């Protein structure tokens, strides 16, 4: 066994008996069923998933970070292993503060890969303590994204089966045309 492997084994032994926490960071503007699918898959591996909404007032978003948090909480319906929070600054610092062992990112298609790869390598450079874990979304959600849902909803397109119900209700408040569909 190499020294690196020994140290990894030691770390993993030390973690036994403790909760394995993963951070699922993102803009979530808004949460989609694709995101929910990733959360469910992450819970197959980790004991707790913290859905961490990026709070960045400089970034233009449809929903405020509080609205995004509330929609996620409502959609998760108090399901204990899922916590919802906001973060700002460096993701790896936040992960360290939460004692998380991994950062989860969903992958839909090859087009996601380049950006995700770059982010993961930057995060690894900034911290050796947190691993990036990529989870493939279910085929059903492969073309789903927050931006495309917002675009369709804006013009009254039916997005009912792409977002949890609490998100649909908030989108209806923002886009009056959606009310008529």
Residues lying near ligand PNS in the complex (CB under 6 A) are found at 25-27, 54, 90-91, 119, 122-123
3-state helix, strand, coil in the chain (%, to 5): 45, 15, 35
| Residue (54 or 159) nearer to ligand PNS, CB | 54
Measured in whole angstroms, the distance separating CA 2 from the mean position of its chain's CA atoms is: 34
| Residue (73 or 124) nearer to ligand PNS, CB | 124
Residue at shortest CB range from ligand PNS: 26
Measured in whole angstroms, the distance separating CA 91 from the mean position of its chain's CA atoms is: 12
Least Cβ distance, residue 123 to ligand PNS (angstroms): 5
- Listed in sequence order, the residues at least 6 apart from 160 whose beta carbon sits closer than 8 Å to its beta carbon are 168
Element (H, E) at 136: strand 131-136
Residue for token digits 């509330």? 70
Active site residues: 35, 59, 108, 146
Least Cβ distance, residue 103 to ligand PNS (angstroms): 8
| Residue (26 or 164) nearer to ligand PNS, CB | 26
Least Cβ distance, residue 155 to ligand PNS (angstroms): 23
Beta strand pairing status for 21-26 and 48-54?
Answer: parallel
| Residue (18 or 115) nearer to ligand PNS, CB | 115
Nearest to 164 by CA among 143, 180, 141: 141
Least Cβ distance, residue 178 to ligand PNS (angstroms): 22
């Amino acid at each position: 066994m190499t020294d690196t492997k020994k140290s990894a084994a030691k770390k993993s032994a030390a973690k036994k008996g403790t909760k394995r926490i993963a951070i699922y960071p993102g803009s979530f503007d808004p949460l989609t069923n694709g995101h929910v699918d990733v959360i469910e898959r992450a819970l197959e591996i980790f004991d707790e998933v913290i859905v961490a909404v990026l709070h960045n007032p400089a970034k233009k978003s449809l929903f405020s970070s509080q609205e995004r948090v509330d929609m996620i909480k409502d959609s998760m319906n108090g399901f204990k292993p899922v916590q919802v929070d906001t973060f700002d600054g460096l993701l790896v610092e936040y992960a360290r503060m939460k004692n998380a062992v991994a950062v989860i990112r969903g992958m839909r298609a090859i087009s996601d890969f380049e950006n995700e790869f770059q982010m993961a390598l930057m995060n690894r450079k900034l911290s050796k303590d947190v691993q990036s874990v990529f989870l493939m979304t279910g085929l059903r959600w492969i073309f789903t994204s927050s931006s495309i849902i917002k675009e369709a909803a804006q013009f009254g397109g039916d997005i009912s089966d792409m977002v949890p119900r609490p998100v649909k209700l908030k989108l209806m408040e923002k886009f009056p045309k959606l009310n008529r569909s």
